[in-house]
Amino acid sequence: MKYPIGIQSFEQIIEDGYVYVDKTDLIFNLVHEGKIYFLSRPRRFGKSLLVSTLKNYYLGRKELFNGLKIASLEKDWNVYPVFHVDFNSTNFTEKETLEQKLNFYVTEWELKYGLPDRSGLLGIGDRFVEVLRAAHEQTGLRSVVLIDEYDKPILDVLDVDAFLEDRHRNILKAFYSVFKGADSHLQFVLLTGVTKFSQVSVFSGFNQPKDISMDARYETLCGITQKELETYFQEPVEEMAEIYNCDYNFMLAEMKRQYDGYHFSKKMTDIYNPFSLLNALDSKSIEDYWFKTGTPTYLIRLMNHFNENINELTGKYYRQEEFIDYKADVEMPLPMIYQSGYLTIKGYEEFGNRFLLDFPNNEVKNGFITMIATSYLQPGERITGWVFDVLDAMRAGDIEKLEPLFTSFLSSIPYSMRRKDNEREKERYFHYTFYLIMKLISVYTVYTEKQQSQGRVDCIVETPKYIYIFEFKLDGTAVEAIEQIENKGYAREYILDGRKIFKIGASFSSETGTISDWKFE
């Protein structure tokens, strides 16, 4: 089986015999039920392949769709004028790059339709309107406009160059305004991207597109569903099961934990990250493929000066407007984190029309927490190596090793990172530090601030042979922490569990920034 990893061309996938998960029935519905659309999905989620498929469909390349669902649905196969703008391959951090790229596109289209060069007379948007008018007159058919990663010119300079960010926003706003002036010449328009900007929107110059990002009808338009995984990829999953010395169903469960878990509507259909899934099937190995491709620099930049900690954002319910529109003048990271794919919908509460947001899967959770911990704590130790040392000690039940591991790691955090000016911020830093540390080791079952009948335990870690119950105190004593574990009965739910239980009390010093007292039973 050939996997189209990194291939975004529909025609190449079909012509060269790569596996193609057929979504053309959804595409048929899309093009026949509306006109101007916007779709937001995380990076490497198949947006460019969707655009390429639509391009070939509107170019009437019927032969490419033989055997696909749309072949029995579409009867006409008209050849429309198609205008495809792809911002993926360009770095927009240099001044005038955006203007040059748009000018190149429009000049090429003017030549194709025999129009004179009017760059000195008309703006880029008005020139595009003239192109659309000419294409309509010459072909007798309205035009199709496909814009891939519409927001990249803004994201490339977001929080880096305010002047260029504003300039790009205004240029795109003028360019996209053609969709209002040329409405009678347009058959279909799709803009894809990661973020949906609001208020000072690039969309405000024309009639708002239909946002299908959370439309249940199109939630599976990008990505791979559980049914599609089992239908198209049963054989490679079976091969992976042999390599991992497990049965088929266990292998499916492992793939699900690692790469599934995205939801894009109230319907809550599970969607796999296609890039990671295809890489895993091709390599026959479960690894962090999507995260290895790099974290968007704009997200790291933005989070560096946001006051919210990730534990204060995850596992909570929000109204749709709180995480859908990115408001460039409001310092709130949630919409950007959600739209970038680091959080997803994990539940829907009809009362109040609210959505539960949390990490989609293990790959994203582990990678994102590692990134956040590195940025927030800035430890002198290499995080990955430290994590494996802790995991090895916990797997072996070597309780004696845990104290020096925690102490050395905390001691390596720069004084400037942990210094807080008031008691509330000291407490907040303390809780967030241990939240990040415990999430880093969540290859095991880890519960942070787990609610029980008698109270909320700071952390419980379950390994195959051992259960670790942690209680942390800020400027307190380890004895107080152990007494709380006993008095609150935190170990009670594990009485009938056959695994050995360790109760660990630790005191964290706000002065030294590390463990000052440690006790275990």
Q: Write out 438-468 in H/E/C secondary structure.
A: HHHCCCCEEEEEEEECCEEEEEEEECCCEEE
Global pTM?
0.86
Q: What phi and psi values does residue 201 have, to the nearest 5 degrees?
A: -75, 145
pLDDT score for 425: 75
pLDDT score for 329: 47
DSSP type of residue 209? P
Evaluate whether 127 touches 174 at the Cβ level (below 8 Å): no
Among residues 241, 261, 512, 509, the alpha carbon closest in space to that of 366 is found at: 261
- β-pairing, 186-193 vs 210-211, is unpaired
pLDDT score for 347: 95
* 11 to 7, 50, 72, 76, 193: CA distances (angstroms): 10, 12, 19, 20, 22
DSSP H or E segment with residue 300: helix 297-303
Query: Cβ neighbours of residue 8 under 8 Å, at least 6 residues apart?
Result: 48, 49, 52
Number of other CB atoms surrounding residue 15 within 10 Å:
11
Evaluate whether 197 touches 147 at the Cβ level (below 8 Å): no
Among residues 89, 473, 155, the alpha carbon closest in space to that of 335 is found at: 155
pLDDT score for 452: 62
Question: Alpha-carbon distance 229 to 214, whole Å?
Answer: 22
521 residues of the chain, pLDDT tens digit each: 999 998 999 999 999 999 999 999 999 999 999 999 999 999 889 999 999 999 999 999 999 999 999 999 999 999 999 999 999 989 999 999 999 999 999 999 999 999 998 888 898 999 999 999 999 999 999 999 999 999 899 888 887 888 998 899 889 988 888 888 888 999 999 999 988 766 446 666 556 788 999 999 999 999 999 999 999 999 999 999 999 999 999 999 999 999 999 999 999 999 999 999 999 999 999 998 987 776 666 677 667 666 677 878 888 999 988 888 766 544 677 888 898 899 999 999 988 899 999 999 989 988 888 888 877 777 776 787 888 898 899 999 999 999 999 888 888 877 666 666 677 777 777 778 888 887 787 766 677 766 665 667 888 888 889 999 988 888 889 999 999 999 888 888 888 898 999 999 989 888 888 889 999 98
Question: Alpha-carbon distance 516 to 55, whole Å?
Answer: 64
pLDDT score for 454: 62
